[in-house]
Structure 1
Amino acid sequence: MSTPEPDRPGRERRPDASMSLLRELLENPLDGGYRAVAARRQGPRPVPWWQRVLVVVGCVAIGLGSVWAARELRAPASGLLPARTLLVEQIDERTTEGDALSTQNARYQAEIEALEQAGLELVDEDLAAQLERLAVPSGSVGVAGEGLVIELQDSAAAQQGAPGSEEERVTDVDLQVVVNALWASGAEAIAINGRRLGSTTAIRRAGEAILVNLDPVVSPYRVQAIGDPNRLQTELTRTPAATHLDVLESTYNISVAMSTEESMRMSALTGVAPRYAEPLGGRGSGVPPSGSDDGPDDRDEGVG
């Protein structure tokens, strides 16, 4: 704290001489210690050379690490491509093996049918004729003839896997509607992508795949129906399936094509086991005996 200066002769007295403390606060607001620190901080502080070298080396290391990481992430894993190639090869091998076994089964099935027919003709010709008539709708024998073909294909967006195009795919319900309408229109035999349908055939969806007789089928779905083509087309337009197909094409961009063929061949449905139903009350009775609570345990399922 400064003390007031004494008045000297010949020197004019300041008006604020008695307020030296306030004058000091106004003229020198910064404390002496802070003033000294501020004086030392004026101007850039020199950086040692080794710190500069360390910063440059760190930047180079970070840049090289980023480039290496980007290359490693973009490059395929070393074992991924061989594993995928091996998987594709195994799928092709199993598919070829399955096709060969299917051909062999069809040949054996034809031999079995010939032997059964010959044996039945020796025992009962009427029974053999009846079985022959029922063999076509049941799918137990191969058939050939003219008919109608309906082809359904997923929309272009669904085939490319575009977001929001899930509803533009053909579903198992769509195939069920078409197949049931063809049966009602007088079709004698039906197949989807070469899979023959029978009276107990199921068309179901498993995840994103559609199964026909537990065999997966993919788009485009080619539904073949043997019968009079003109009658099939006429009767089909009178069923709800005609409106259903129009909605699929106009609303969901699903391709629907219909054509006729003069000659089609369908192999027999493998694994068909003949079954016979009898009334629970005995032969000739269509109701269960009185007092019995038992009812039919099983019910034959139609297509779908």
Structure 2
Amino acid sequence: MEPAERPEKQVKRNPVPSLLTSLLTDHLDPGYGAAAAERTAQHTRKPRVPAALWLLGGAVVVGVIFGIAFSQLASGGADVDRAGSDASAAVRAAQDRSAELEATLQALVEQVSSERDRALQSDVTGSALLDRLSAVESAAGIDSVTGPGLSVVVTEPVAEDAASDRSIRGGSGAAVLDRDIAAIVNSLWASGAEAVSVDGIRVGPNVTIRQAGGAMLLDNRPIDSPYAIEAIGPPQRIQVQFVVSDAYLRMSTVAQLYDVGFTVRPATDLELGPAAVRESFVAEEVGRR
């Protein structure tokens, strides 16, 4: 008896490979999924140190840094203030010492002048020499003089609006410049003045009028507005010649443009002190080359 025939196994045509199936169904490599799962597990895991502690620590560090910076700034400001106070005190002490020495020098000059006059007045030759010395001293401005003359006052304008530049000339921040004062002084000399002073400082040979920043300096000494310029001499003659000078016309224009105060009036009794005594230099010709 023959065994029954087994049914033939149906053969699939065009089988689909497993690799192609995985490519069609799984769009990502399994490694990507594992990495994503690991990252998710790490994010869900509780941190060892809470975020609040990190914030607190950062705030403490920032506070310490700001505290150190503030303490250094405060100590530096105190040092600057102390240095400024010391410098101001030193300047005041130097000014007081300079004024004291100047007064002592003036007293000694007057004493020497008195002794000289007493010695030279004994004979005719000495009297003639004394007259020549007096003329030279008067020209040098080292003696006190009194008499009538002319008074000129120049005043800085009142700054009503700090933002306005109407009262500012040049880069000095002032309306009255050093060349204005110098022009007035020179015109007074040319008008016949015998002695001139500005704010009580006698104008003699080698005296300079300069402007440093916003400060006006006469013979390296500061002067302030109003600038009182006094000239001793024949009042009428000085005034007549001064009002037609270039300096008068210049200051009249400045007064109109920049609101500068400018007044001229005769004075009956002026007293001008001596100018600073300076070292004399003599040059002699020793020969030709």
8 Å Cα contact 1:245/1:256 also seen in 2: no
The separation in 2 between residues aligned to 1:57 and 1:227, in whole angstroms, is: 84
Compute the TM-score of the two structures, normalised by the length of structure 2.
0.68
In the alignment, what sits opposite 1:193?
Answer: 199
List runs of 5+ in structure 1 lacking aligned partners. Answer: 1-5, 281-291, 295-304
Instruction: Tell me how far 1:48 sits from its aligned partner.
Output: 1.8
Instruction: Tell me how far 1:271 sits from its aligned partner.
Output: 2.0
Q: Which SS does the other structure have where 2:229 is aligned?
A: strand
Aligned pair 1:144/2:149, yes or no? no
The 1:246–1:257 alpha-carbon spacing in structure 2 relative to 1, beyond 3 Å, is: closer
Q: Which SS does the other structure have where 1:84 is aligned?
A: helix
The separation in 2 between residues aligned to 1:274 and 1:33, in whole angstroms, is: 103
In the alignment, what sits opposite 2:59?
Answer: 59
In the alignment, what sits opposite 1:73?
Answer: 73
The separation in 2 between residues aligned to 1:164 and 1:255, in whole angstroms, is: 11
Instruction: Tell me how far 1:139 sits from its aligned partner.
Output: 0.6
1:1-304 to 2 correspondences below 5 Å: 28-42=26-40, 44-50=43-49, 52=51, 53-74=53-74, 77-121=77-121, 122-124=123-125, 125-146=127-148, 147-153=150-156, 156=159, 166-169=171-174, 170-204=176-210, 211-213=217-219, 215-220=220-225, 221-246=227-252, 248-249=254-255, 253=258, 255-260=260-265, 261-271=267-277
The 1:164–1:123 alpha-carbon spacing in structure 2 relative to 1, beyond 3 Å, is: closer
Paired residues, number:
264
8 Å Cα contact 1:154/1:219 also seen in 2: no
The 1:7–1:229 alpha-carbon spacing in structure 2 relative to 1, beyond 3 Å, is: farther
The 1:259–1:59 alpha-carbon spacing in structure 2 relative to 1, beyond 3 Å, is: same
8 Å Cα contact 2:154/2:228 also seen in 1: yes
8 Å Cα contact 2:184/2:247 also seen in 1: yes
Instruction: Tell me how far 1:143 sits from its aligned partner.
Output: 0.9
Paired letter, 1:50? V
8 Å Cα contact 1:181/1:241 also seen in 2: yes
8 Å Cα contact 2:251/2:262 also seen in 1: no
Name the larger-Rg structure. 2
Deviates more, 1:142-151 or 1:176-185: 142-151
Paired letter, 1:29? H
1:208-234 deviations in whole A, cap 9, x for unaligned?
765544x32243344332234554444
1:141-199 deviations in whole A, cap 9, x for unaligned?
101234313335488569xxxx9973333544333222211211222211223221123
In the alignment, what sits opposite 2:6?
Answer: none
Q: Which SS does the other structure have where 1:238 is aligned?
A: coil
The 1:229–1:30 alpha-carbon spacing in structure 2 relative to 1, beyond 3 Å, is: farther
The 1:78–1:7 alpha-carbon spacing in structure 2 relative to 1, beyond 3 Å, is: same
Paired letter, 1:102? E
8 Å Cα contact 2:255/2:262 also seen in 1: no
Compute the TM-score of the two structures, normalised by the length of structure 1.
0.65
Fraction of identical pairs, as percent: 25
The 1:93–1:210 alpha-carbon spacing in structure 2 relative to 1, beyond 3 Å, is: same
The 1:243–1:20 alpha-carbon spacing in structure 2 relative to 1, beyond 3 Å, is: farther
List runs of 5+ in structure 2 lacking aligned partners. Answer: 1-10
In the alignment, what sits opposite 2:8?
Answer: none
